[in-house]
Amino acid sequence: MKLQILHESVGRIRVHLCTYGKMTMHEADLVQYYLENQSAVRHVRVHERTGNASIQYRGGEKAKMGIIRSLQELQLDDQKVELLLPDDTGRELNRQYESKLFWHVVGRLCTRFVLPAPLAHVITTARACFYVLKGIRALAGGHLPVEVLDATAIGVSVARRDFTTAGSVMFLLGVGTLLEEWTHKKSVADLARSMSLNIDRCWIRSGTEEIEIPVTQVHADDLVIVRKGMPIPLDGIVEEGEAMVNQAAMTGESMPVRKEPGLSVYAGTSIEEGELVIRVQATVGETRYEKIARMIEDGEKLKSNLETRASRLADRLVPASFLGTGLTWLLTRNVTKAISVLMVDFSCALKLSMPLAVLSAMREAGYHKITVKGGKFLEELAEASTIVFDKTGTLTKACPKVDRVVPFGPYSEEECLRLAACLEEHFPHSIATAVVREAAERGIVHDEMHSEVEYIVAHGIVSTVEGRRTVIGSYHFVFEDEGCVLPAGKEAEFDALREQYSHLYLAVGGELAAVIEIFDPLREEARTVVQSLRDAGFTKIVMMTGDSERTARAIAEEVGVDRYYAEVLPEDKARFIEEERAAGRKVVMVGDGINDSPALSKADIGIAIGDGAQIARDVADITIAAENLSELIIVRRLATLLMKRISRNYRFVVSFNFMLILLGVFGILAPGTSAMLHNGSTILIGLESMTDLL
């Protein structure tokens, strides 16, 4: 692709894609998502009408030249580029509302300045009928919402032949409605895209074998195998097995649902217990996005508690506006002053600005690769005082490494690693990934050698290899639960294992075969993040891990947490969180694994690491990317600033509109001016609520 550099500054470049004049929306989306997947790119916007792309990047000249080379190499007919696109990019939605807003403004200008007055009055009266009928329907339903107030204000203006005021009120109400719809739908679409699945591969049954293939290669009627802790990649019907499926991410159900042969399962849900063989019905692209978007639209989870209270208060203020209008007329006998009160209400601005502020904050979080599933979670995060961290994959890096494999039985080091990788690849977790990666780096091929695989949360894996029971997992699981023993004469070698490392134990036929020493390096930013969270208002920072006391103590001292707990089980984490909540503290739980899901669901706010287990992301209320824990600081700041904005908006709406009412009562403002200032301030505060917080 040919391109021309139009402008550049530090960390920013704007280019014209010379291959195109005006691009199609699909071509612009392809370029957009291709660039967003470049590691050096921070933010990009592609303008299809001009064929230009504005790119913000991290790094210096080398990073910039890498981006330019990537664009030059881009082929839009490449199928790999097509796969980068989500189900819906939102570009068409933006163009739709831009056009609606443009023609709405043009229509008002024509009515006000171009059309003859008699014709303009007829059009204004016809449009007023729509608002009056809407108000009558609301009143007939036994309610007195803001629609009744709008209808009364517009109807009275038309009756008094004040067509300019009526037209201005309807124009400003229309602009406010369009902006609210646009921002709401865009925020829902952004959130739905961020919540959509990111599953690249899955296991299918081919004859008597299990084969791992890309999800894009799965066809209808293929048999997909999904085990405990794994996401269901595609819609289908259960063919074999029984399982408890967590459908919270799709249906909002809090409790897992039992699935057995003949029942439907849905992409985006996860298995908590059991194993299923699923006959695929809908392949990639036919599910996910629309269902998630519909779930968000239908649910109340977008709303914060403060926003809900403001909306209820807004409706309760409508009768007060009518009462103020009546009292003004009774006291002054001046219709103009009474109508000035009628033209002003508190509810429009409250109902517009609060949702826009919440949705915009959620959208802004998405810019930082943070998925927030509801405004109420931001409100609770702003108030939280306790934060609990899992260790492995959370405070430590998400990619632990195998330091060495220590064989104890008749098997060689290579044979032990091959067997461990063969078992662990079925259950993606940071430790399992380290084992599989080490085998790949050593060139060890680990074909399927086992029968059915069973995963026991926070303990390990059980299978049968060549007729012998094979287990891999923690010390407690292998030696205490499974009753495995140390080979004779290996006691000294076993005691010499380095305690600063995490240990993964492999046993075959009831006897220890090997110990894999895992080095799980601490995240470079962990200590800084912990201190920043303390500065941000968290008064209790806790680390909980299943690792040994010695390992946990070393990490806790290095990170600087207030308290740590070692050798804990999933239920211990959940119990601690329940105790904190019972003491009146709002609790945040940060984790990445299957064993963290009970605690994530019990916490006021569950935060999952992006590359962790799917079920952890499903249960969590917020998901951050895996690259950097500093996103915890970002989302905390976002939450705090959002609550400040909502409170500020509330104070402004009440004080400004009360001032307009007083000015109208004393005859300083005419009804048309009151309406213009009221609706203008509503739009302005709505636009301000859409701006970035950070």
With a CB cutoff of 8 Å and minimum separation 6, the contacts of 149 are 135, 318, 321, 322, 342, 345, 347
Of the ranges 152-166, 171-185, 285-299, 555-569, which is most confident?
A: 555-569
Residue 260 has pLDDT above 70, yes or no: yes
* Overall fold of domain 370-397+522-626: Rossmann fold (3.40.50)
The confidence band for 448, taking pLDDT boundaries of 50, 70 and 90, is low
Residue 77 has pLDDT above 90, yes or no: no
What pLDDT is attached to residue 549? Answer: 81
Q: What is the separation, in whole angstroms, between the first and last Cα of the chain? A: 35
CB 119 within 8 A of CB 289: no
Q: How far apart are CA 354 and CA 345, in angstroms?
A: 16
The confidence band for 286, taking pLDDT boundaries of 50, 70 and 90, is very low
SS3 content of the chain, % helix, strand, coil (to 5): 50, 20, 30
Residue 386 has pLDDT above 90, yes or no: yes
CB 201 within 8 A of CB 210: no
Q: Which amino acid is at 1?
A: M
Of the ranges 445-459, 480-494, 664-678, which is most confident?
A: 480-494
What pLDDT is attached to residue 639? Answer: 94
CATH of 201-287, one of 1.20.58.100, 3.40.50.720, 3.40.190.180, 2.70.150.10: 2.70.150.10
CB 402 within 8 A of CB 504: no
- The pLDDT mean for the chain works out to 82
pLDDT single digits (tens) 331-351 = 888 877 787 777 776 666 776
Say what the pTM is. 0.66
Helix axes 671-689, 163-195, angle to 10 degrees: 10
Domain ranges of the chain: 3-85, 95-192+301-346+669-685, 201-287, 370-397+522-626, 401-519
CB 529 within 8 A of CB 588: no
The whole-number average pLDDT for the span 630-644 is 94
Q: Which tokens hold the place of 506?
A: 């492999």
Q: Which amino acid is at 559?
A: V
308 compared with 663, residue with greater pLDDT: 663
191 compared with 367, residue with greater pLDDT: 367
Residue 663 has pLDDT above 90, yes or no: no
Residue 156 CA neighbour count, 13 Å, CB half: 20
The confidence band for 299, taking pLDDT boundaries of 50, 70 and 90, is very low
Q: Which amino acid is at 351?
A: K
Residue 300 has pLDDT above 60, yes or no: no
Provide the 3-class DSSP secondary structure of residue 10. coil
The whole-number average pLDDT for the span 73-84 is 76
Q: Is the dihedral of CA 666, 670, 671, 673 positive or negative?
A: negative
The whole-number average pLDDT for the span 315-344 is 79
C-alpha of 456 from chain center: 28
Q: Is the dihedral of CA 464, 465, 467, 470 positive or negative?
A: negative
Among 100, 80, 7, smallest CA distance to 37 is for 80
Residue 252 has pLDDT above 50, yes or no: no
Q: How far apart are CA 346 and CA 354, in angstroms?
A: 12
What pLDDT is attached to residue 285? Answer: 46
The whole-number average pLDDT for the span 91-98 is 85
Q: Which tokens hold the place of 611?
A: 């590359």
Residue 253 has pLDDT above 70, yes or no: no
With a CB cutoff of 8 Å and minimum separation 6, the contacts of 174 are 104
- C-alpha pair distances (Å), 75 with each of 1, 501, 528: 7, 46, 42
Strands in 370-372's sheet, in edge-to-edge order, are 370-372, 622-624, 605-609, 587-591, 386-390, 540-544, 563-565
Give the architecture-level CATH label for domain 3-85: 2-Layer Sandwich (3.30)
Question: What DSSP character marks residue 299?
Answer: S
Rg (CA), the chain: 30
Pairing of strands 201-206, 209-214: antiparallel
What pLDDT is attached to residue 626? Answer: 66
Strands in 41-47's sheet, in edge-to-edge order, are 3-9, 12-17, 52-57, 41-47
The whole-number average pLDDT for the span 252-271 is 76
pLDDT single digits (tens) 390-417 = 987 788 875 678 989 999 988 899 999 9
What pLDDT is attached to residue 289? Answer: 47
Residue 6 has pLDDT above 70, yes or no: yes
* Overall fold of domain 401-519: Calcium-transporting ATPase, cytoplasmic domain N (3.40.1110)
Provide the 3-class DSSP secondary structure of residue 668. coil
Q: Which tokens hold the place of 489?
A: 């004469």
pLDDT single digits (tens) 232-247 = 888 889 999 988 887 7
